[in-house]
């Protein structure tokens, strides 16, 4: 039966990272539990919500963990409850000791807390992925690709495939695309080294957890795929997510090369103007903003008869091409500008009824976003 | 029709303080509006939810306000919406200009936003209070009295009078008491100077807003009473609250002078032990903790058959009197310890079925709390 002692702060960090995969309101009740497996070398904490699973390993060799294992074994404990108890303990170390009937005694300072656990056999077995020839990615790069694309995926389950981010590797060319059919965001990167080609659709919800699990001190992650799952792995953390089934729509056909009107804005200035427009357009219904581009001047207009209107001249950095008037939902432009890290943004238009294209001013290839306008008369 | 310009940041501060009285979900729809009254000297902002009302005055003489009034008048504007719009404006100053049909044009930088307002005649008239012979209190002292008592008031409307804090002034003796019939908290202060005696019950909900409205730079407030209302007033802010009707129960009879058992604890150490006990006692139902006081030792015990148990020896600073075993809801003790600013707390017991008394260790008179035990077996 399990017996170990450990540094409380270190243990809590690992517990909280694992908890990101655990939902207390899961349809499968046993998934609200945390699995603790103690070997002679390390402790492995496992959490899963059926969509994503996290395994977190605490090695006895890590001096900061202050881990002393005297007896091995496995047990299930109610995750939230257990983590709250651990964080309430008075001393800097805690002793974890299993007694009869899957009970656990936590001792810390003069406090002794007995908790009921469950037989580890009740926990579902997680699928395994073959871990040969990994794709190695910088954590920072992967986080940035996720933040540039995942927001554009759909939140509605009416077309489940659109709730994912389409990631492909084609001979060193890595591409991530997301669209909810109103807007699209695509990020491309050329990798230094080759890996096996792949073509997968990853739930955007899973990707949004990624940044919380892999902290900035983890420099690289290895990425593995199976037909139905994906694994991101660092030295101590394995993060599994299921993949979405089905064919992702062909988004390449949406990218065009010729435009009629081009305007460059300061990203922050345009965003702040769109946020004002959105306050008015959104006050009574999901309204639109109208952009008027005329010779040497761009202005934004909203008219919500019940609450009021906005008229604003927009400062531009540069402007060329035909005059154009186009209407769209300002939320999509605000989201797109939030995802842009560049100080200036180039917006290129074809016509009032065709999607317009946003790119960082100095890079029209690697990061492209599209927004579909709304037809008005 | 109104016309003024003002510093945006200063205006926003005053708007946000006034908003504390405004609920967007009020049963009286017009109360979701903010009233703006512009005289040649100042602007007065008024918000009310029917229970509390706040009037905030911005004088043209305050240089930080950057206030330039060119035309006077009054108008109503939807509070939340208006404040969001103001905070989104691009420039450091804004121009506020009323046009036909109760419309307002806000101009800031190159942005021009038109909003629909309402006729000020639709706003209910607030009751007035005679403002002679005020009681002057230090803001800091009043905030501290509120934080020491208001939490102990009832949240349930079954006995409305218990949702208030009973405040009395009796010849320089100021006393505040709150109880929900399970616990009681009483704070007394001897004032330096006399004022008219009073005996009122103030909704604890109103008092909890007090600290947010009167910031720490406001040194004193004047306090005025009418039969049904109370007014706290500083140089620029008037905060009105209605009073509760009815007779407050006699709480003095609960205070006793003789005790059988006395224990002194470090406040933080006891609170942390009770928080652990609460995690277990509260896991399945609103359970209790049992304190065992025996010759030279105090221990805490919780047993929740479904989830687990706690056994803990408690460090004490001092102990005297008879052995005693007493059970109670740890939430009440946690709340009581949170309200105590002293490092050490004296707890005095009479019997397992009589309320026990908490006081700061070095002051057994001015701040007294009672907690009623739970009978077990």
Spell out the SS3 assignment of B19-74.
HCCCCCCCCCHHHHEEEEEECCCEEEEEEECCCEEEEEEEECCCHHHCCEEEECEE
Q: 10 Å Cβ neighbour count for A63?
A: 8
Domain boundary among A96, A122, A148: A122
Residue A330 near residue A147, CB atoms below 8 Å: no
Task: Indicate which CATH number applies to the domain containing A183.
Answer: 3.10.150.10
* Chain B residues 115-134 within an 8 A CB cutoff of chain A: 115-116
| Cα B230 to the center of its chain, rounded Å | 14
The reply to whether B239 falls in a domain is: yes
Name the strand (E) or helix (H) holding A237. strand A237-242
Choose the closest CB to B111 out of A78, A110, A312.
A312
Task: Give residue A377's pLDDT band: very low, low, confident or very high (50, 70, 90).
Answer: low
Q: Would an 8 Å CB–CB cutoff place A105 in contact with chain B?
A: no
**Best CA proximity match to A273, nearest among A362, A342, A345, A350:** A345
Mean pLDDT of chain A: 94
- Ramachandran class of A125: left when φ > 0, alpha when ψ lies in -120 to 50, beta otherwise: beta
Query: Which residues are CB-neighbours of A114 under 8 A, at least 6 positions away?
Result: A99, A103, A104, A105, A106, B308, B309, B310, B311
Name the strand (E) or helix (H) holding B237. strand B237-242
Pair (B63, B165) in one structural domain = no
Q: Would an 8 Å CB–CB cutoff place B283 in contact with chain A?
A: yes
Residue A174 near residue A188, CB atoms below 8 Å: yes
Domain of residue A338 covers: 255-371
The reply to whether A179 falls in a domain is: yes
How high is the pLDDT of residue B363?
Answer: 83
How high is the pLDDT of residue A270?
Answer: 97
The reply to whether B377 falls in a domain is: no
Measured between beta carbons, the chain A residues lying within 8 angstroms of B306 are 116
Pair (B229, B290) in one structural domain = no
Pair (A113, A183) in one structural domain = no
Measured between beta carbons, the chain B residues lying within 8 angstroms of A272 are 88, 90
| Minimum mean pLDDT range among A320-324, B273-277, B281-285, B343-347 | B281-285
How close is the nearest chain B Cα to the Cα of A79, in Å? 13
Pair (B206, B307) in one structural domain = no
The reply to whether A308 falls in a domain is: yes
Residue A205 near residue A244, CB atoms below 8 Å: no
The reply to whether B70 falls in a domain is: yes
Tally of domains within chain A: 3
**C-alpha gyration radius of chain B:** 26
Pair (A86, A148) in one structural domain = no
* Structure tokens, B291: 């304190």
Choose the closest CB to A312 out of B110, B309, B310.
B110
For A256-304, what is each residue's pLDDT tens digit? Answer: 989 999 999 999 999 999 999 999 998 877 689 999 999 889 999 999 8
Are A307 and B81 an interchain contact pair (Cβ–Cβ within 8 Å)? yes
For A153-199, what is each residue's pLDDT tens digit? Answer: 999 989 999 999 999 999 899 999 999 999 999 999 999 887 888 99
* Structure tokens, A57: 């390993």
Q: What angle do CA B151, B156, B157 make, to 5 degrees?
A: 125
C-alpha distances (whole Å) from B187 to each of A96, A158, B253, B335, B337 are 44, 60, 16, 15, 14
The reply to whether A237 falls in a domain is: yes
- Cβ-count burial A268-306 (b if 16+ within 10 Å, e if not): ebbbbbbbbbbbbbbbeeebbbbbbbeeeebbbbbbbee
* Structure tokens, B1: 């029709």
Are B312 and A272 an interchain contact pair (Cβ–Cβ within 8 Å)? no
Choose the closest CB to B112 out of A103, A114, A311.
A311
Pair (B141, B107) in one structural domain = no
Pair (B103, B184) in one structural domain = no
d(CA B313, CA A126): 42
Q: What percent of chain B has pLDDT over 70?
A: 99
Q: Examine the pLDDT at B169 and tell me if it is beyond 90.
A: yes
Pair (B181, B213) in one structural domain = yes
The reply to whether B128 falls in a domain is: no
Q: Examine the pLDDT at B376 and tell me if it is beyond 80.
A: no
Query: Which residues are CB-neighbours of B250 under 8 A, at least 6 positions away?
Result: none
């Amino acid at each position: 039966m399990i017996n170990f002692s450990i540094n409380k702060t270190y243990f809590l960090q690992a517990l909280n990272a694992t908890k990101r995969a655990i939902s207390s309101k899961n349809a499968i009740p046993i998934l609200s539990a945390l699995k603790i497996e103690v070997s002679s070398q390390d402790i492995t904490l496992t959490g899963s919500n059926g969509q994503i699973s996290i395994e977190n390993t605490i090695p006895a060799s890590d001096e900061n963990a202050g881990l002393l294992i005297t007896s091995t074994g496995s047990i299930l404990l109610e995750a939230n409850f257990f983590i709250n108890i651990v964080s309430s303990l008075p001393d800097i170390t805690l002793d974890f000791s299993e007694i009869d009937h899957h009970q656990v005694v936590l001792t810390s300072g003069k406090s002794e807390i007995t908790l009921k656990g469950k037989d580890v056999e009740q926990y579902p077995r997680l699928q395994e992925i073959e871990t040969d020839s990994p794709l190695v990615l910088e954590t920072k790069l992967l986080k940035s690709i996720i933040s540039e694309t995942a927001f554009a995926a759909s939140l509605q389950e009416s077309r489940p495939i659109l709730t994912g981010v389409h990631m492909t590797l084609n001979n060193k060319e890595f591409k991530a695309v997301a669209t909810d059919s109103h807007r699209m965001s695509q990020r491309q990167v050329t990798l230094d080294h080759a890996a096996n080609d792949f073509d997968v659709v990853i739930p955007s919800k899973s990707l949004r957890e990624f940044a919380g699990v892999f902290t900035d001190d983890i420099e690289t992650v290895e990425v593995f795929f199976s037909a139905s799952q994906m694994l991101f792995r660092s030295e101590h953390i394995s993060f599994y997510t299921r993949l979405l089934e089905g064919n992702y729509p062909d988004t390449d056909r949406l990218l065009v090369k010729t435009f009629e009107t081009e305007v460059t804005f300061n990203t922050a200035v345009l965003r702040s103007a769109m946020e004002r427009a959105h306050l008015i357009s959104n006050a009574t219904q999901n309204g639109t903003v109208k952009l008027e581009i005329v010779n040497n001047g761009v202005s934004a207009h909203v008219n919500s008869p019940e609450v009021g209107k906005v008229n604003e001249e927009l400062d531009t950095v540069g402007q060329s091409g035909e005059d154009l008037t186009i209407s769209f939902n300002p939320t999509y432009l605000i989201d797109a500008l939030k995802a842009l890290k560049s100080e200036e943004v180039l917006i290129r238009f074809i016509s009032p009824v065709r999607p317009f294209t946003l790119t960082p001013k100095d890079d029209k290839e690697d990061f492209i976003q599209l927004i579909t306008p709304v037809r008005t008369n």
